[in-house]
Amino acid sequence: MKHEAKNFNHLLGKLAGFSEKMLTAHFTLYAGYAKKLNEIEEKLAKADKTLANYSFGEFSELKRREAVAFNGTYLHELYFEAMNSKKTEASGALKKAIDESFGNWDEMVKDMKATASSTPGWVLLTYSKVDKKLHTYIMFEHHIGLPAHQEIILALDCWEHAFMIDYGIGKADYLTAYFAAVDWSIVSKRFEHAMKNQMV
Ligand SMILES: [Fe+2]
């Protein structure tokens, strides 16, 4: 299939703490990943599999970067799609899971912020099919670090491009703005869906 970057221009001027300049630059980077994903998939379809090699080979190099472009595309969608100027509340089920997994809501936010301080990449809030609880994990680059059996319900972009235009090195202020922009109704829908997927 051909991957197409979605249009998130409806967010411009709507998110407190996210300038149009920063969001527009971010949308451009996101679209670049979708373009590269198409390019990688097209080249993989034609690459000679008999020349695959751990040290170097066209198929092997493309295969090694495939998940970068894939997650570079779809993690950004998880990020932008769960942002909104509307102040929405998490569902009762999600709030209960947060309490059971982290102790309380504030501890979940504290955990995500501490995890954000630990990586230049992504912070993911996941539903684990292993212990049926919520967890935070770090994803380096776009593709390294996600444990098995996780359903992503929130993806927080902590790459410098996500905040430096507006905040410089003030990552903590970016995180404050981010949590004010999260659309918890979307996260609740993802959680509801994630719970239906169990280990088989
Ligand atoms: Fe990003």
pLDDT at site 199:
85
Query: How confident is the model over 2-16, as pLDDT tens digits?
Result: 999 999 999 999 999
Distance 83 CA to ligand 1 centre (A): 13
Q: Give the span between the Cα atoms of 34 and 25, in whole angstroms.
A: 15
Query: How confident is the model over 156-197, as pLDDT tens digits?
Result: 999 999 999 999 999 999 999 999 999 999 999 999 999 998
Distance 60 CA to ligand 1 centre (A): 25
CA nearest to 52, candidates 42, 63, 40 = 63
Distance 49 CA to ligand 1 centre (A): 32
- pLDDT category at 200 given cuts 50, 70, 90 is confident
With beta carbons less than 8 A apart as the criterion, state whether 167 and 156 touch.
no
- Mean pLDDT, rounded, for 125-143: 97
pLDDT at site 89:
96
Distance 188 CA to ligand 1 centre (A): 22
Distance 121 CA to ligand 1 centre (A): 9
Distance 97 CA to ligand 1 centre (A): 28
With beta carbons less than 8 A apart as the criterion, state whether 94 and 58 touch.
no
Distance 168 CA to ligand 1 centre (A): 15
In order of 55, 84, 137, 187, 188, the CA distances from 146 in angstroms are 24, 26, 7, 18, 21
CATH of 92-196, one of 3.30.70.260, 3.50.90.10, 3.40.50.620, 3.55.40.20: 3.55.40.20
- pLDDT category at 85 given cuts 50, 70, 90 is confident
Query: How confident is the model over 12-55, as pLDDT tens digits?
Result: 999 999 999 999 999 999 999 999 999 999 999 999 999 999 99
pLDDT at site 184:
98
Distance 40 CA to ligand 1 centre (A): 19
- Mean pLDDT, rounded, for 76-85: 96
Distance 148 CA to ligand 1 centre (A): 23
Distance 78 CA to ligand 1 centre (A): 11
In order of 77, 116, 117, 144, 160, the CA distances from 169 in angstroms are 24, 13, 11, 24, 8
Distance 59 CA to ligand 1 centre (A): 26
pLDDT at site 158:
97
In order of 17, 42, 53, 55, 60, the CA distances from 49 in angstroms are 48, 14, 9, 14, 8
Query: How confident is the model over 87-133, as pLDDT tens digits?
Result: 899 999 999 999 999 999 999 999 999 999 999 999 999 999 999 99
Q: Give the span between the Cα atoms of 189 and 176, in whole angstroms.
A: 23
CA nearest to 126, candidates 117, 138, 135, 114 = 135
Distance 187 CA to ligand 1 centre (A): 19
Q: Give the span between the Cα atoms of 82 and 86, in whole angstroms.
A: 11
User: Domain extents for the chain?
Assistant: 19-81, 92-196
**Half-sphere exposure for 53 (CA within 13 Å, toward CB):** 6
